[in-house]
Chains A and B, each alone.
Chain A
């Protein structure tokens, strides 16, 4: 099994954030304004998303055809998701959720192409979106319920209606717990997407290296290693396709649930 560690190290190196001009170099990208290997594919995904929806919106007709049909079905799916999670006025937020969903989806799908990287496999990208979601849903909460009303909603109504003994002991405790929970939301949102996309690529890399090492071996061991590596590679690739869709869906659904919670904060 010699050579596994070095090959793994070089494969992992492919997944670290490197300046795009020097992908095979050893210097990690530290300058925030340099084009990295991840941002390169992020820009490609951005262009694809933009072109896809511009082409779909160019020929709007009552009976959509071609790309328009796909885009319309996707948008309807997102609008239903918004209405389900936010009530009747949820359709207003469908463009925001839809943009997030399709941009993440195109990023994830680009990551499936051998040699390409998912833009979402970089923590900086996902953390920015998660922070944006955090700001948006809190802004909606403050706007809809007022500052006092929104902060009040952090303590459940059952505790608020208790006697002063329960209200002033349990109340602050739950309030602090809720605040911590709210700050954990963007963190988990960012790490979930990043970890899934980042780890997916590394798993494929590991089984790919396993296969290459099997080809170099002779005899039964080599055949077994190659067969096992290839089988796992196919299974994991299928799983990665599934994960690419499910993670975009989970990001969209959680964003809509958070916004829905902020919209109806005063009701519970």
Chain B
């Protein structure tokens, strides 16, 4: 019984952890496209910054993934 609750908790934890970063990465990507369309000559720099920003945002989802693995193990 305890094990199945752990798995349920892992699923909920990952789902919630992916929710915020999902929104965040969507906003970052959208804004990056906006910036690139406005100033195509800055596309390279915008892309680099976008990847860095995505990495920071994604870190939260990855922490949720690790937590889910720990909970379900």
Contact = CB atoms under 8 A, between A and B. Distances in A.
Interface of A: 84-85, 184, 187-188, 191-192, 195, 249-250, 253-254, 257
Contacts of B45: 84
Given A188-B58, A192-B62, A254 B52 contact: yes
B48 A84 contact: yes
Contact of A195 (B48, B52, B55, B62): B62
Contacts of B59: 184, 188
B66 A191 contact: yes
23 contacts: A84-B44, A84-B45, A84-B48, A85-B48, A184-B59, A187-B66, A188-B55, A188-B58, A188-B63, A191-B62, A191-B65, A192-B55, A195-B62, A195-B65, A249-B51, A250-B51, A250-B55, A253-B51, A253-B52, A254-B51, A254-B52, A254-B55, A257-B52
Contacts, number: 33
Interface residues of B, number: 12
Interface string B39-73: 00000110010011001001100110110000000
Nearest to B52: A257
Contacts of A187: 62-63, 66
A209 to B, nearest CB: 20
B67 to A, nearest CB: 11
Residue with the highest number of chain A CB atoms closer than 10 Å, among B48, B52, B55, B66: B55
Contacts of A253: 48, 51-52
A249 B48 CA distance: 11
A254 B58 CA distance: 13
Contacts of A192: 55, 58, 62
Contacts of B62: 187-188, 191-192, 195
Given A187-B66, A254-B51, A257-B48, 11 more contacts: A84-B45, A84-B48, A188-B59, A188-B63, A191-B65, A191-B66, A192-B62, A195-B65, A249-B51, A253-B48, A253-B51
Contacts of A84: 44-45, 48
B49 to A, nearest CB: 10
Contacts of A184: 59, 63
A9 B33 CA distance: 41
A254 B50 CA distance: 11
Contacts of B44: 84
A133 to B, nearest CB: 13
A104 B13 CA distance: 29
Nearest to B49: A257
A192 B65 CA distance: 10
A268 B51 CA distance: 21
B56 to A, nearest CB: 9
A187 to B, nearest CB: 8
A115 B45 CA distance: 39
Contacts of A250: 51, 55
Contacts of A249: 51
Contacts of A254: 51-52, 55
A206 to B, nearest CB: 16
Nearest to A123: B69
A253 B62 CA distance: 18
